[in-house]
Amino acid sequence: MESSMNVAVIGAGAMGSGIAQVAAQAGHSVLLMDARPGAAQRAVDAIRETLNKLAEKGRLTPTEAAEAGARLQAVGAVTELAGPGLVIEAIVEDLSAKRELFTRLESVVDPDCVLATNTSSLSVTAIAGACAHPERVIGLHFFNPAPLMPLVEVVPGLATAPGLAERCGLWMGRWSKVPVVCKDTPGFIVNRVARPFYGEALRILEEGLADMATIDHAMRTVGGFRMGPFELMDLIGNDVNFAVTRSVFEAFFFDPRYRPSLTQQRQVESGRLGRKTGRGYYDHTGTTTPPIPKNDPELLDMVFLRILVMLINEAADALYLGIADRAALELAMTKGVNYPKGLLGWADEIGLDRCLSMLQGLQTEYGEDRYRPSPLLRRLVREGRTFHG
């Protein structure tokens, strides 16, 4: 893709603004459009302010900031999108709204314009299904905040033209992003593989095996994660995190592995959404003393390993089912959600037989399909192999 080619971004909210900034910094003229009157212009002004701040901090030269800012233009309607080579949609997460927009776009843009969706939970195939030419539709799933998070999941739908994913991957590389190609399945890579980070932590809490401060402490100190599950759910917002879990669970036809937690549902119902409401699992108003974790090494190890093997099992199954290749799975979790290591490499480190016997132990203990080990993990252990050899 030539940097002289226009890019259009539709939806000037958190994600659309971030993506527009990234595209402008990569040298493209960017048209930003939003259905709310004035929203696109406000977003352009805010991005220019961000670029100026980056220049003040020395991350960009004043010329780079001014040039990137000048490449952005707000437009009021889809019909004003003159000749983009790539459109990235980041509007409301609603299938019928997205299908309607894509249909309208098809009547406006050139036949060779690529139409991308930033959806995080809808099927790319379903969005493309509304189009006369679904072969030019693809998912480009950025992470929040888009200018800072390197990962982009590149998701071809069922009818996407062969080769388009590779082309989009090259473009994303030129935008200084780390692209990973994955199949159009619920949660793509990151939102699928990361589910047990929250779900198994909630389960351990519900069973009274450890309190949330201890679980968070275990994941940070033993696991090296930047945040524990409860701290992270409070940061993401329990409403948002619960909605993702629910949508993945429903999209997998209620596979018990992804079952949402009643504990989290009650948090949402009570309005304890996390930092944004001052109260989630923790009190964020600074008026109460934070809970103190238990410093019992055996307990911390138990908690960490139980969550880790569930994450590993998800990654193993994603590899087994061909959702993405090994390298993509490792990159996705380290570049999309800052995991300290790729899960497959981590599994090799701690030993696949150990992972398998922990999962089998949990499955026997609880008698639940939730803990069923991935067939790939079983096979590798049987054959004495690792994920990397």
Indicate which residues carry an active-site annotation.
120, 141, 153, 191
Q: Answer yes or no whether residue 255 interacts with ligand NAI by CB under 6 A.
A: no
> Angle CA(341)–CA(344)–CA(347) in degrees, nearest 5?
90
Q: Choose one: 118-126, 207-215, 337-345, 373-381; the region binding ligand NAI (CB under 6 A).
A: 118-126
Residue 102 or 387: the one with the smaller Cβ distance to ligand NAI is 102
At 99, list the tokens: 């299908």
At 207, list the tokens: 């069973």
Helix (H, G, I), strand (E, B) or coil at 285: coil
Q: Answer yes or no whether residue 380 interacts with ligand NAI by CB under 6 A.
A: no
The residues in 15-34 that bind ligand NAI, with binding defined as CB under 6 A, are 15-16, 34
CB of 307 to ligand NAI, least distance (A): 22
Q: Choose one: 139-147, 217-225, 283-291, 360-368; the region binding ligand NAI (CB under 6 A).
A: 139-147
Residue 18 or 199: the one with the smaller Cβ distance to ligand NAI is 18
Check residue 121 and give left, alpha or beta (phi > 0: left; psi -120 to 50: alpha).
alpha
- Residue 45 and residue 193 in contact, taking contact as beta carbons nearer than 8 Å: no
Residue 151 or 215: the one with the smaller Cβ distance to ligand NAI is 151
d(CA 220, CA 223): 5
Helix (H, G, I), strand (E, B) or coil at 161: coil
Residue 246 or 341: the one with the smaller Cβ distance to ligand NAI is 246
CB of 290 to ligand NAI, least distance (A): 26
Residue 48 or 370: the one with the smaller Cβ distance to ligand NAI is 48
In this structure, the strands spanning 6-10 and 30-33 are parallel
CB of 277 to ligand NAI, least distance (A): 17
Q: Which amino acid is at 370?
A: R
Which residue's CB atom is positioned nearest to ligand NAI?
Answer: 13
Q: Chain centroid to CA 15: how far?
A: 12
CB of 329 to ligand NAI, least distance (A): 19
Query: What is the tally of helices (H) and strands (E) in the chain?
Result: 17, 8
> Which has the closest alpha carbon to 7: 22, 212, 337?
22
Spatial neighbors of 297 by CB under 8 A, at least 6 apart, are none
Q: Answer yes or no whether residue 46 interacts with ligand NAI by CB under 6 A.
A: no
Out of 29, 50, 118, 245, the residue judged to bind ligand NAI by CB under 6 A: 118
Chain positions contacting ligand NAI, by CB under 6 A: 10-16, 34-36, 39, 90-93, 97, 101, 118-120, 141-144
